[in-house]
Structures are given as C-alpha cells and as structure tokens.
Amino acid sequence: MRILVVAATEMEIAPLVASLRDRRDGSQQVTSYTYAAHDVDVLITGVGMVATAAWCSHRLAQRRYDLALNFGLCGSFDRRLEPGTVVHVTSDRIAELGAEDDEAFITIQELQLLGDREFPFTCGRLVNPAPPDNATLSALPAVDAITVNTVHGNTRSIAEIARRFTPQVESMEGGAFMYACMIHGLVHAQVRAVSNFVEKRNRAAWKIADAIRSLEHTALSILDGA
C-alpha cells in the first residue's frame, strides 16, 4: 500500500518517523520511507491551512496514494478530551470563512457565496465520507473540529466560537487536509492528539510531549492495521 503521511511540523511526528525504515531523500518537503509492506511518503507542509492545502494538492497531483493520514496536535474545547487523548476528526469546519456583520458572524453559506451542500461541504462542514477500515482508527473518539488561522486563547472569543459551532477540538491544518483529499477522491483520516484545553493562553499547562507520545503509539498502530 502507498500511504501519504501529512504533518504541519517535523516535531509532531518525529517519533513516528524514527520508526520508519529505508529513508530516501525526497524533494519539495516529501521524504520517502518503508514500513512493513507499505511505501510511506511523509509530507511536512508547514503551519496553517494555506500551506497545508497548497502542499497537499501539489503532492496529490503528482502521485496516487491508497491512503492519506494527517497526524498532528490539537486543542480541546471538550473537557472530556483531556491532554494526551488521541481523536479521529471525522467532521471539520473552516471557522473563519465568512463575514462580520457588526457583532454577528455570517458564514460563507449564509452569504450565499457557497451552497450549503456544495461539494465538498455538507451543511457547512467537511465530513469524511468513508474513513479507512482500520480497527485502531475505529476505536478512537470521533470528533467535530474547526480549523482556524488564529488559535483561540481569549475567554470571550472562546465562548463565542463554542456557541457558534460547538466544536470539540481545533487545529490550524485539519480542514485543509480533508478538503484536498476529498477533491482528489482519496481515502483519508485526520488523527490528532490533544495537547491542551482551549482556554486563556496558558502554555505552562500544555502537555505537548505527552500528546506526541500518544500520537506516535496510535499512528504506528494505524499503520500496522493498514
């Protein structure tokens, strides 16, 4: 099986990459490996939805894959999803896509600039239509996410985005990855480890190392079952 692994930064998947074999020098942010019977290309896009969308689409136009996996970290709005928890994002929304109307926010669909069910959206969300059949993936909590350009760290803005969309987690790349995979018709999954609660910015409370360890274990298990 040919698999594309996508991450925003090398740091997020460094332990996973260390478990892959036969590194071969790549080009344009892609490095190729093998793992078990799989050929695995690792794409490091850089941070943010623009970089992720651009590099994913660039790579997917160059080569066909059987499966794409986005591994990364996220913040949790849901207090049941504690730092270190690994989740499967099955639904994502580009939260800032719209317009301000004084104190109100108007989504791109409400502006009628995009249909409510215009591909690849379903009721304003990017919904994974057919996640891979994988036992590890199926055992993870399935969550709704938002993708943002600015991660939330202000009490007022957190309350507002929670009221508007009721997300469980947020990232800066996930929706862009899903968008690219969906327009290329590629089987995919977005898998993230919670590094922190979404709250007033408090970096001392973040558990990035724990999240990366949890993500590595889950990622390897997904590859083993692919």
Is it the case that residue 15 has pLDDT exceeding 80?
A: yes
Mean pLDDT of the region 195-224: 95
pLDDT in tens, 72-108: 999 999 999 999 999 999 999 999 988 988 888 888 8
Distance separating alpha carbons of residues 66 and 84, to the nearest angstrom: 29
Distance separating alpha carbons of residues 7 and 103, to the nearest angstrom: 35
- The Cα-based distances of 144 to 2, 166, 171 in angstroms read 27, 8, 11
> 């079952």: which residue's tokens?
225
Contact 52, 44 (CB under 8 A): no
Query: For a pLDDT cut of 90, what percent of the chain falls above it?
Result: 83
| Higher per-residue confidence, 167 vs 109 | 167
For residue 3, which of 58, 64, 87 has the smallest C-alpha distance? Answer: 64
Mean pLDDT of the region 56-72: 96
Single pTM value for the model? 0.94
Contact 176, 53 (CB under 8 A): yes
Which domains, and CATH codes, for the chain?
Answer: 2-224 (3.40.50.1580)
At residue 108, the pLDDT reads 85
At residue 54, the pLDDT reads 97
At residue 25, the pLDDT reads 64
Is it the case that residue 156 has pLDDT exceeding 80?
A: yes
Mean pLDDT of the region 143-153: 96
